[in-house]
Amino acid sequence: MARTSKLRHEGDRVTDLINVGVLTKQFPLAEIKSILEETGRSSRRQRDLPAHVMVYYVITMALYRQEGMREVLRVLLEGLRIILGLGIRLQAAGKSGISQARSRLGEEPMRRLYEQAVKPIATSKTHGAFYHDWLVVAMDGSTLEAPDTEANQEAFGRPASPSGGRSAYPLIRVVGLVEVGTHVIFGAVLGNYATGEVTLARRVVPHLRAGMLCLADRYFPGYPLWKQATGTGADLVWRVRRKIQFPVEEQYPDGSFRSWFRPPRPTKGQPKGERIPVRVIDYRVEGPEVKEETIRIITSIMDWRAAPASELAELYHERWEFETALDELKTHMRGARTVLRSQTPELVRQECHGLLLAHFALRGLMHEAALSAGRDPDRVSFIHTLRVVRRTLPRFAALSPSGVEKPARRGAGGDPGRRRGAAAATAGQAGGEAKTE
């Protein structure tokens, strides 16, 4: 599905609610320090770039993808100077110092922060997030290009090029879930290029829960993964390849039919698996601007009255919201046709989690803005929100390099209470965008 175009209306804006920095709001300092303690990565002595500052730095690096490493640090420190007062002197490290600080931090704290902080955020008031009582999510995968170093090549690998040689860059594979109504990417796992999406999906599926309705494309369905996914209590609507045979056991009035997902043939000495009931829906896509084809989807929802075939056929195409979320992540945040910055595998994975955390921070901000205006999060422009955060973050990154909040000083402009209130107040506007087809 093509990305929907959006036009900006000057009088139609939504308050973006950047309170004390979009990063410190979504990822509280106390939570980060707890993770650093658990992973043994807390700074044991005072440094120019202590561990908790570097966590925010890795996320900020994703927000300012087109800037150099020192410029990203300058942006972050600019916010520190404003919040802590001009009397506080913070020394910006060089590129080597930044790389050393990132290496000391490592990958694990960023991965733990992502797993702990990034969850579905839709509420009953979120427009477009639910189908009846089900929270709609979509599962899919993609790849990100890593710098062409020997270490990255050995860790991640790369596909063969059409000409018979090698592709330009090593690729890291990402598989995850997207909350359709908010575009939050949660439960994502990383692997090398040789690891298939279905293999990584086995680590993603445990993030499904009862009350979710998961959409997935034709490359995921298989007896083991279907059994694992339905075992979480979630319901599924997955497309299947036509070569998979589903015998008609009972025809329903809505045009769907009951069938079975047959287990694979057991190997010698292994017990035979049980058949899993599924409901099969066939429908045809037609139109002058689309490829005409017959699509087959299967669902775990056996009651056709609760979820008629026509509704599930229409709902399945919401799976493309995953592609929209990837477009936000890979095109607008990372930059089109650009590679990650990091030269070593651990820092590549660290950077990937920073990218996912930054995307969640923006999407959380947009969701809050949409709720405050009673509108669909899809109606808030991701691109404009990213620009607002880039402009505003240096003025509202309330983070002490020592991890201890400093009291505001009296001076021209009033008392400490008023200063704290100003830092927590609205910092700008994320444009509410009108969608046009």
Q: Is residue 336 pLDDT above 60, yes or no? A: yes
Q: Is residue 406 pLDDT above 60, yes or no? A: no
Backbone angles phi, psi at 275, to 5 degrees: -70, 145
Burial 28-46 (b: 16+ CB within 10 A, else e): ebeebbebbeebebbbeee
Burial 139-153 (b: 16+ CB within 10 A, else e): bbbbbbbbbebebbb
| pLDDT of amino acid 47 | 63
d(CA 311, CA 62): 38
Strands 293-299 and 257-261: unpaired
Q: Is residue 332 pLDDT above 80, yes or no? A: yes
| pLDDT of amino acid 46 | 61
How does pLDDT run across 256-278, given as a tens digit for each residue? 999 998 887 776 666 677 899 99
* 8 Å CB contact between 12 and 435: no
Least confident among 121-125, 285-289, 358-362, 404-408 = 404-408
Give the length of the chain: 437
How does pLDDT run across 156-166, given as a tens digit for each residue? 999 887 666 67
The two three-digit tokens of residue 93, written as one number: 């490290």
d(CA 430, CA 134): 29
Q: Is residue 8 pLDDT above 80, yes or no? A: no
How does pLDDT run across 13-71, given as a tens digit for each residue? 333 333 336 777 788 888 999 999 999 998 776 666 888 889 988 998 888 887 888 88
Q: Under 8 Å CB-to-CB from 298, ≥6 apart: which residues?
A: 221, 236, 237, 238, 240, 246, 259, 261, 278, 279, 280, 281
| pLDDT of amino acid 167 | 77
